[in-house]
């Protein structure tokens, strides 16, 4: 069983981080000249970023295959792309099944009754609406992340 992360809690955490960054940015902007401590922190952060970039370049030069493997996570947990792809395929499958049941009912198949068709249609509708809401939340989260000050 795959542990699923509550999308709303992740979005709430992202919003909190965004608010904290905005508050820090507003605080820094309100000061006319940054203090020496802020300057030294900024310089240290820049130096650290350069060092990380150099190390990544060196690692890729030494062994590109190993560098790409070190980025991958736990193989027991499926990646986001696989999970999202499976969810979309599941919705498509439910819609196809509902459509096939409706067609068979319309053609007079005696093994298919109307409540079964209506339930299949509702299941496909609910799963499609849920997928649409997940997509909307993902787009909103992407926009929030892209609008965060760096």
- Give 23-63 pLDDT, tens digit per residue: 776 666 665 444 444 454 555 555 555 655 666 666 666 55
State the alpha helices, DSSP H only, in 31-113: 36-62, 64-71, 80-106
The dihedral of CA 129, 130, 132, 133: what is its sign? Answer: positive
pLDDT digits (tens, 9 = 90+) for 122-138: 999 999 999 999 999 99
- Cβ atoms of 21 and 148 closer than 8 Å: yes
3-20: average pLDDT: 63
- Cβ atoms of 87 and 133 closer than 8 Å: no
81-99: average pLDDT: 91
pLDDT at 67 over 60: no
Among residues 67, 45, 70, which one has the least CA distance to residue 58? 67
Q: End-to-end distance of the chain based on CA atoms, in angstroms?
A: 37
Q: How far apart are CA 150 and CA 21, in angstroms?
A: 8
Helices 80-106 and 114-146 meet at what angle, rounded to 10? 150
């Amino acid at each position: 069983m795959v542990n699923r992360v509550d999308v709303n809690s992740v979005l709430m955490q992202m919003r909190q981080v965004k608010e904290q960054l905005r508050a820090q940015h507003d605080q820094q902007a309100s000061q006319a000249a940054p203090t020496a401590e802020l300057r030294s922190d900024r310089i240290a952060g820049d130096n650290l970023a350069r060092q990380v970039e150099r190390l990544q370049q060196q690692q890729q030069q030494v062994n590109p295959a190993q560098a790409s493997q070190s980025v991958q996570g736990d193989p027991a947990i499926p990646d986001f792309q696989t999970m999202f792809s499976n969810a979309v395929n599941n919705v498509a499958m439910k819609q196809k099944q509902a459509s096939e049941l409706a067609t068979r009912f319309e053609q007079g198949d005696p093994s298919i009754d109307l409540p079964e068709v209506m339930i299949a249609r509702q299941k496909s509708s609910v799963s499609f609406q849920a997928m649409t809401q997940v997509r909307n939340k993902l787009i909103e989260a992407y926009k929030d992340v892209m609008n965060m000050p760096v």
